[in-house]
Chain A
């Protein structure tokens, strides 16, 4: 029991370090790292020209344009509306606010297949929303717009949930100081509040964008999956898997994985920036 009896442990009072870290590494390796390594291992079965040919074939290029484009637009729209939602939830009081606050997480909790068939139904030409848009000449189901709608749905909570805590902790003295110096409300928002929210907004944007890139379930029902037009990259991978063309599927997966990991790195840097900003404010 006394520290002297086990000099190897030095000043470590708590037990279980080797056990817990060992189990963590074992489980992580078995479930995540080894299978992920299989993806990169499998790509080595292709020669470089074959690999390049697969990832630049016209269907793949069309799917990247759609996946990245729609994800970007959806994340952008969510950044704008997410900021308004977070602002309203933090600063104002209104009837049913707590329910609205809880409901923001619905896209996290609702399984993607459920979201998918629901959105497809709503925006079909005789659906609740689709039949109102049709006279205006707007078709959502089976178009790129449908992909955008689905990705907006699933990305919605990210910006709200990253901006909300920052907005709650914002020091009111800064706004009061700006006001006492003669700034109007719009100037205060634009010059004082928004710059402080920027790291959180960027983080939320990146999170929503990253989630949208890989999204499958909520998109495929509303997209209609017309070749070269509304096929997202994950569905293209699925198609290759269904034809047992694992090498092609793997090559496309590598492109997606590299994009996701690059985004993960960006998000980590952004979060570090957000936290630094926060501690600076507190200090």
Chain B
């Protein structure tokens, strides 16, 4: 990785390139403006999370995290991410395979539809499941099976006493929705750029479909896949708006980490709220670190000049 500051192919003997670079005064000024802006908006908030988290000492920090409600929130967050990330991962690979390796009509429409969840407000993302599964919803728990849209599904929901809204399934569904496009949108451009020649060669040489996928495609897309999974996971564990609509916020039962943070904050237990928040802030730092590492790996491994 050469620094991007000197991309020009001029002979080295020339003393200075006045024409295509700024004076040191302007340069330092711009760097200072950028750093002050980023410092104020990124570094100060990040540092303050950890300072506030330990403002009442380590004992209080451990006490907050050891609380049964905190544990339940952590477990629920892990469960929601543990279900939604693999599902969206399978979807991402399937969608990328169909879109990148084949030609069909309506591809651009499909691409736009896959991106749709990103442009929907988190609150609305949660609300749509309330409209479907809520008490007055299409598949609501209390709805009479005879007047339901899908009678067999309705009677199954009623017979098994399945609660979706204000319960764990709703939280999982909302998390799946908000993290829906992450893996797909990383893999689609990557696999489109790679084309289908390598897979076709493998097939012609006698490999089965699955062999082609595992031995040719997967090694080619592994960094992109990992990148998508990291981003998907970060969003899944940190989602707040969508989850808060469908959760019902029962402490110790349907609170995820972000919802538990809100509950502690509303109780004026600021040190406790920031202690929980420090977990997610740490996760964010790990995410950024992994992301940078994957980008570095990807740049190193692909000689084709394809970027993530």
Q: Are B284 and A109 in contact (CB under 8 A)?
A: yes
Q: What CA separation (Å) do A92 and B24 show in the bound complex?
A: 10
Closest to B27 in A: A92
Residues in B neighbouring A98, C-beta threshold 8 A: 292
Interface assignment of B46: CB less than 8 Å from any CB of chain A: yes
Q: Are B98 and A21 in contact (CB under 8 A)?
A: yes
Interface assignment of B120: CB less than 8 Å from any CB of chain A: yes
Question: Shortest Cβ distance from B8 into chain A, in angstroms?
Answer: 5
Count residues of chain A with CB under 8 A from any CB of chain B. 97
Question: Shortest Cβ distance from B29 into chain A, in angstroms?
Answer: 10
Residue-wise interface mask of B (32-50) relative to A, using a CB-CB cutoff of 8 A (1 in contact, 0 not): 0111011011111110110
Residues in B neighbouring A217, C-beta threshold 8 A: 122, 240-241, 258
**In chain A between 190 and 222, which residues have their CB closer than 8 angstroms to a CB of chain B?**
210, 213-217, 221
Interface assignment of B104: CB less than 8 Å from any CB of chain A: yes
Q: Are B41 and A113 in contact (CB under 8 A)?
A: no
Q: Could you tell me which B residues sit within 8 Å of A by CB distance?
A: 3-5, 7-8, 18-23, 26-27, 30-31, 33-35, 37-38, 40-46, 48-49, 52, 90-91, 94-95, 97-99, 101-102, 104, 110, 112-117, 119-124, 127-132, 134-138, 173, 176-177, 180, 196, 199-200, 203-204, 206, 209, 212-213, 231, 234, 237-241, 244-245, 258-259, 261-262, 265, 270, 273-274, 277, 280-281, 283-285, 287-289, 291-292, 307
Q: Of B5, B91, B129, which one neighbours A92 at CB under 8 angstroms?
A: B5
Q: Are A179 and B20 in contact (CB under 8 A)?
A: yes
Q: What CA separation (Å) do A84 and B37 show in the bound complex?
A: 10
Residues in B neighbouring A107, C-beta threshold 8 A: 42
Q: Are A216 and B19 in contact (CB under 8 A)?
A: no
Residues in A neighbouring B114, C-beta threshold 8 A: 28
Q: Are A113 and B212 in contact (CB under 8 A)?
A: no
Q: Are B136 and A246 in contact (CB under 8 A)?
A: yes
29 A-B residue pairs with CB within 8 Å:
A13-B204, A14-B203, A23-B90, A32-B113, A35-B128, A81-B37, A84-B30, A92-B27, A93-B3, A102-B288, A109-B285, A117-B273, A128-B48, A156-B41, A172-B7, A172-B20, A176-B8, A176-B20, A185-B22, A185-B23, A213-B121, A214-B124, A216-B121, A216-B240, A234-B121, A238-B123, A246-B134, A249-B127, A260-B121
Closest to A111 in B: B238
Q: Are A129 and B42 in contact (CB under 8 A)?
A: no
Q: Which of A117, A168, A237 has the most CB of B within 10 A?
A: A117
Residues in A neighbouring B117, C-beta threshold 8 A: 32
Interface assignment of A118: CB less than 8 Å from any CB of chain B: yes
Q: What CA separation (Å) do A33 and B138 show in the bound complex?
A: 14
Q: Of A42, A122, A214, A221, which one neighbours B265 at CB under 8 angstroms?
A: A221
Interface assignment of A162: CB less than 8 Å from any CB of chain B: no
Question: Shortest Cβ distance from A121 into chain B, in angstroms?
Answer: 6
Q: Are B240 and A113 in contact (CB under 8 A)?
A: yes
Q: What CA separation (Å) do A168 and B6 show in the bound complex?
A: 11
Q: Are A113 and B258 in contact (CB under 8 A)?
A: yes
Q: Are B45 and A111 in contact (CB under 8 A)?
A: no
Closest to B23 in A: A185
Q: What CA separation (Å) do A100 and B43 show in the bound complex?
A: 10
Residues in B neighbouring A113, C-beta threshold 8 A: 238, 240, 258-259, 261-262, 277, 280
Q: What CA separation (Å) do A216 and B199 show in the bound complex?
A: 44
Q: Are A84 and B127 in contact (CB under 8 A)?
A: no
